Chain A
Amino acid sequence: MNIQSVVGLHQFMKRVVVTGIGVVSPVGVGREPFWAALCEGRSGISRIEEFDTANLKTTIAGVCREFRAADFFDERELSRLDRVSQLAITATELAVREARLPDSQLAGFDTGVILGTGFGGQASIEDFCGAFYLNDRSRRSAVAIPKSMYNASASTIAIRFKTRGPNITITTACSSGANAIGQAAHLIRYGQAERMIAGGADAPVTQVVMDAWKDMRVLSTKNEVPQRACKPFSANRDGFVLAEAAGIVVLESLDSARQRGATIYAEVVGYGSTADAAHITFPDPEGESQAMRRALKDGGVAAEEIDYINAHGTATKLNDASETDAIKRVFGCRAYEIPVSSIKSMLGHSMGASGAIEFIATVLALNEKIIPPTINYEERDPQCDLDYVTEGARAMRQASGRRAAMSNSFGFGGNNAVLVAREVNP
């Protein structure tokens, strides 16, 4: 039974829009450089220079090289913040600045934070574990726990911007960022908050994590030309490229955004979340497709109205085949007509941040009416036979009155989160 129709909840539902975007990514810091790089098809993947990679099979990653922590934090703040929090707070700072929200509106109980992260303060965890196992007292610290805990980023955002509404950290591996935005949108929709800072952040490019992935054999080993390593949907793909990033959106009720004359990038209309409940790492297309169906239903969007799908598209053999299958289950014959692209081909896979970063790209695609491409596509795979926008950025067609796009995120653990956004008429 549909509870919304029973109690007439729809009439109380608020429409939710994106009014601020902040990105820290391997292709640049800030919305404009990020979007320009995606449209140019420019890769942010490079050789790892931060630590010794001699014992690794994969020596490349997506590192946010243009991010200068000193531009945003003083030394003392930095001593308290893991890199993941630095990325998350910076992205928030950029999003909030862009949303032109006055401090008086941002502060208080009407604004909350939901952040997704897969690895949390990983580098700090490694640091204090190292100090423990090596009995190195000089590296011991009273801030080891508050620096490395998974909710450190979300809590520090609240402290910095004085947001006293719900403060929640979601960790659902690679779907964390999408889950965070979906849950945040629902909080606004049902009146639990007037505006939310939502998104994802991850900084997992560490020696320990790279070494651990090695044994799972899911990372690309095409180290020779880093920019060409990640080949989503291409038959010669050999795995994903690990990356760090943070993507934050300011979500706000449409009423609030219109009242204050805010720039509206797009409307968040639908959110669907499911679990495969099958295998911890092996994807299940039924779980994935059900999340897509639920997101469409949640947003009152028909499958025929979707103009673009921003794929999870990791470039692993399993994901890309399973996602293609899942898209066909939802869209039937029309699956072949919908442009599907993976920006992981350029950014790598930033784990808990990826869902947020990709939602941002989806929103910008709607806003700019341009679809970012899948780069590095070389060989046709019979299992991956959709339109992957491999020729470069493309103008977005319009199937219905208002363009609509879907962003897929599927995580280890069998977590699936799908977001649907629509352009907003001026």
Chain B
Amino acid sequence: MSKEVRQPVETIEDIVKDIIIAELRVEPQQLQSDTHLMKDLGADSLDALNIALRLEDAFKIKIPDDAIPNFLTISDIIKGVNEHLNAN
């Protein structure tokens, strides 16, 4: 099932969390709105790039290189995705 099909029934938050869970192999309960991908979940810069790649595909957005450092907590990612969706 593709992310686009799921989007109407899943919230942006659900999709963002699904991507992080899949990429970082973490449990859903580890994800709070202020969870930091690097400090709390041990992600590194390559993980951040992969998560950006999946977000771009799921939401059909383009995340500029200099925006990636702002995509490091769950709430920041959701905020960033919303901004990009609105900009499009």
Interface residues of A (CB under 8 A from B): 74-76, 79-80, 137-138, 140-143, 146
Q: Would you call B38 an interface residue if the criterion is a C-beta within 8 Å of the partner chain's C-beta atoms?
A: no
Q: Which of B47-83 contact A (CB under 8 A)?
A: 49-50, 53, 57
Q: Which residues of A contact B50 (CB under 8 A)?
A: 141-143
Q: CB-CB < 8 A to A140: which residues of B? A: 53
Determine chain A's interface SS by DSSP, over half rule.
Answer: helix
Chosen A-B contacts, 14 in total, with CB atoms closer than 8 Å, are A75-B25, A79-B25, A137-B53, A137-B57, A138-B57, A140-B53, A141-B50, A141-B53, A142-B46, A142-B49, A142-B50, A142-B53, A143-B46, A146-B46
Majority DSSP secondary structure for residues of B touching A: helix
Separation of A75 and B25 alpha carbons in the complex (Å)? 7
A141–B51 Cα gap in the complex (Å)? Answer: 9
Asked if B15 lies at the interface with its beta carbon under 8 angstroms from chain A, I say no
Known: A137-B53, A138-B57, A141-B50. 16 other contacts (CB 8 A): A74-B25, A75-B25, A76-B24, A76-B25, A79-B25, A80-B46, A137-B57, A140-B53, A141-B53, A142-B46, A142-B49, A142-B50, A142-B53, A143-B46, A143-B50, A146-B46
Task: Tell me, in angstroms, the Cα distance from A92 to B58 when the chains sit together.
Answer: 40
Could you say which of B24, B25, B49, B57 has the most chain A C-beta atoms within 10 Å of its C-beta? B25
Query: CB within 8 Å of A: which residues of B?
Result: 24-25, 46, 49-50, 53, 57
- Of all chain A residues, the one with the shortest Cβ separation from B50 is A142
How far does the Cβ of A142 sit from chain B's closest Cβ, in whole Å? Answer: 4
CB-nearest residue of chain B to A142 = B49
A76 nearest CB neighbor, chain B only:
B25
How far is A138 from B58 in the complex, measured between Cα atoms in Å?
A: 10
Complex CA–CA separation, A79 to B46 (angstroms): 12
> How near does chain A come to B61, taking the closest CB pair, in angstroms?
13
Q: How far is the CB of B47 from chain A (nearest CB, A)?
A: 8
A82 CB to nearest chain B CB (Å): 15
Closest-by-CB residue of B relative to A146 is B46
> Nearest chain-B residue to A145 (Cβ)?
B46
A141 to B23, CA, bound (A): 10
Looking across the interface, which residue of chain B has its beta carbon closest to that of A78?
A: B25
Shortest C-beta distance, B72 to chain A (Å), equals: 15
Shortest beta-carbon distance from A72 to chain B in Å: 16
How many angstroms between the C-alpha atoms of A75 and B22 in the bound complex?
A: 11
Q: Which 9 A-B pairs have the closest CB atoms?
A: A142-B49, A75-B25, A76-B25, A142-B50, A142-B46, A137-B57, A143-B46, A140-B53, A141-B50
Which residues of the partner chain B approach A143 to less than 8 Å between Cβ atoms? 46, 50
Residues of A with C-beta under 8 A to B49? 142
What's the nearest-Cβ distance from chain B to residue A80, in Å? Answer: 8
Q: How far is the CB of B76 from chain A (nearest CB, A)?
A: 19
Which residues of B sit under 8 angstroms from A80, Cβ to Cβ? Answer: 46
Residue in A79, A138, A140, A142 with the greatest tally of chain B CB atoms within 10 Å = A142
How far is it, in angstroms, between the C-alpha of A265 and the C-alpha of B50 when the chains are bound? Answer: 45
Of all chain A residues, which has the CB nearest B45? Answer: A142
| Shortest Cβ distance from B2 into A: residue | A138
Chain B residue, CB-CB nearest to A77: B25
Bound-complex Cα distance A194 to B53 (A): 44
Q: Which residues of B contact A76 (CB under 8 A)?
A: 24-25
CA distance A141 to B57 in the complex (A): 12
In the complex, what distance in Å separates the CA atom of A76 from the CA atom of B41? 12
Query: Which residue of B is nearest A147, CB measured?
Result: B46
A75–B50 CA distance with the chains assembled, in angstroms: 16
CA distance A142 to B44 in the complex (A): 11
Q: What is the chain B residue whose CB lies nearest that of A143? A: B46
What residues of chain A lie closer than 8 Å to B24, measured between beta carbons? Answer: 76
- Shortest A6–chain B CB gap in Å is 51
Complex formed: what's the CA distance from A118 to B46 in Å? 26
Given the complex of chains A and B, what is the CA–CA distance between A74 and B49 in angstroms?
21
A325 to chain B, nearest CB (A): 50
